[in-house]
Chains A and B, each alone.
Chain A
Amino acid sequence: MILARVVGNIVATQKNIRYQNARVMLCQQITPEGEDTSYTCLALDSVDSGVGDTVLIVQEGWGASTAATGKAGAAIDSAIVGVVDRIDLLAEQR
Chain B
Amino acid sequence: MQLARVIGTVVATVKNESLQGRKLLVVQTLDRHLKESGKPMVAVDSVGAGVGELVFWCRGKEASFPFKREDTPTDCTIIGIVDSEAHVTNE
Interface residues of chain A, those whose CB is within 8 Å of chain B, are 7-16, 19, 24, 26, 28, 38, 40-44, 51-52, 61, 64-65, 73-78
Contacts and interface: CB of A to CB of B under 8 A. Distances in A.
A61 B80 contact: no
Contacts of A14: 47-48, 80-81
Contacts of B81: 12-15
Contacts of A78: 1
Contacts of B88: 8, 10, 26
B37 to A, nearest CB: 7
B9 to A, nearest CB: 18
B26 interface: no
Contacts of B58: 75-77
A16 B66 contact: yes
Interface string B1-12: 111000000000
Contact of B56 (A8, A13, A24, A38): A24
Contacts of B90: 7-8, 26
Contacts of B80: 12, 14-16, 19, 24
Given A12-B81, A14-B80, A38-B31, A43 B62 contact: no
A6 to B, nearest CB: 9
Nearest to B90: A8
A10 B56 contact: yes
Given A7-B91, A11-B83, A40 B2 contact: yes
Contacts of A40: 2-3, 31-32, 37
Contacts of A7: 32, 90-91
